[in-house]
């Protein structure tokens, strides 16, 4: 049975790139997948579609199917505009970071929980008092959906040829640090950290940072937004997650370089 030439699609605009003199390729996340679409003439001053295809917005589209190239956006109607992400440099850069992670970790078909997560996180970044905390929470949820879920609750190390697997339960009074090993996929207990600390993939992890990683992974953002977190722990979490994510992407996200260059966040 032949596919219909026209189809409807709702999605979140994660990225855009110019094509030709007036066109633009739109990188869209829908509830069922990631797709690139062509927006003809959208860069012309009088384009009616331009305002409905802004970065980070959620829009309803009527799309024309085209064989052998990008499908073409025939009509667009914006549903959520997200002006707070477009007009605020810090919040907008966090949103670009979120979009970059989705584009790097996912291609083609996806599942609806990813779509819901991105839509929720963009709303949090726009409205929350602490957009960085929202980004740290998002990272843990995204890694789980992408199949790279870190084990922050059981030691991933080994000693004497045996897997450790000991439950890690960090407390403020702990005198010994824990560890992180992106290669093994999670946290190390103090004994495994001591045994493995000369390996290049292994790093230090404070009890406070480990507690927050466990919380970000297992609890909703609403449960965490009112809890106090020190600037020192936030700085450590930035560095730890940059290391973990860069290892699994096999490259450092471009957005992190932008933030560091401008002296913000990362």
Answer with the one of 57, 81, 105 that is the final residue of a domain: 81
pLDDT of residue 263: 55
3-state secondary structure of 131: helix
Place of tokens 């949103």: 95
Q: Which residues contact 189 (CB under 8 A, 6 or more apart)?
A: 155, 157, 164, 166, 168, 178, 179
The side-by-side arrangement of strands in the sheet containing 186-188 is 186-188, 178-181, 203-205
Using the predicted structure, report yes or no on whether residue 69 has a pLDDT greater than 50: yes
257-262: average pLDDT: 65
- Summarised one tens digit per residue, pLDDT across range 143-165 is 999 999 999 999 999 988 899 99
- Summarised one tens digit per residue, pLDDT across range 8-25 is 999 999 999 999 999 999
Domain of residue 150 covers: 83-266
Q: How many domains does the chain have?
A: 2
176-181: average pLDDT: 96
- Alpha carbons 173 and 170: distance in angstroms, whole number: 9
Domain membership flag for residue 1: no
> Rounded to the nearest 10 degrees, what angle do helices 231-249 and 131-146 cross at?
30
Answer with the one of 52, 81, 110 that is the final residue of a domain: 81
pTM of the model: 0.91
Domain membership flag for residue 250: yes
The answer to whether 61 and 37 have CB atoms below 8 angstroms apart is yes
The answer to whether 53 and 17 have CB atoms below 8 angstroms apart is no
- Summarised one tens digit per residue, pLDDT across range 36-67 is 999 999 999 888 899 999 999 999 999 999 98
- Whether 117 and 247 map to the same domain: the answer is yes
Q: Could you tell me the CATH number of the domain that includes residue 34? A: 2.40.50.140
- Whether 180 and 72 map to the same domain: the answer is no
pLDDT of residue 1: 43
Answer with the one of 47, 81, 115 that is the final residue of a domain: 81
Using the predicted structure, report yes or no on whether residue 249 has a pLDDT greater than 80: yes
β-pair partners for 167: 154
Over the chain, what is the mean pLDDT?
A: 93
Domain membership flag for residue 99: yes
- Whether 92 and 21 map to the same domain: the answer is no
């Amino acid at each position: 049975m032949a596919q219909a030439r026209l189809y409807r699609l709702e999605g979140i605009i994660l990225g855009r790139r110019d094509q030709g003199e007036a066109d633009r390729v739109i990188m869209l996340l829908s509830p069922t997948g990631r797709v690139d679409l062509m927006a003809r003439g959208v860069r012309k001053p009088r384009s009616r579609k331009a305002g409905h295809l802004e970065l980070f917005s959620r829009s309803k589209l009527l799309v024309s199917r085209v064989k052998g190239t990008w499908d073409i956006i025939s009509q667009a109607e914006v549903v959520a505009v997200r002006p707070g992400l477009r007009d605020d440099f810090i919040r907008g850069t966090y949103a670009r970071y979120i979009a970059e992670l989705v584009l790097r970790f996912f291609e083609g078909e996806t599942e609806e929980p990813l779509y819901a997560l991105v839509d929720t996180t963009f709303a949090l970044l726009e409205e929350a008092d602490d957009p960085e905390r929202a980004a740290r929470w998002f990272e843990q949820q995204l890694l789980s959906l992408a199949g790279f879920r870190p084990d922050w609750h059981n030691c991933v190390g080994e000693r004497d040829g045996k897997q450790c697997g000991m439950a890690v339960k960090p407390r403020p009074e702990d005198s010994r640090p824990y560890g992180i090993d992106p290669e093994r996929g999670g946290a190390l207990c103090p004994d495994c950290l001591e045994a493995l600390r000369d390996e290049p993939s292994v790093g230090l992890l404070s009890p406070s940072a480990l507690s927050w990683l466990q919380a970000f992974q297992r609890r909703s953002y609403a449960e965490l937004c009112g809890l106090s977190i020190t600037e020192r722990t936030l700085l450590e979490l930035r560095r730890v997650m940059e290391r973990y994510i860069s290892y699994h992407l096999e490259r450092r996200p471009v957005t992190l370089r932008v933030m560091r260059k401008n002296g913000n966040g990362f």
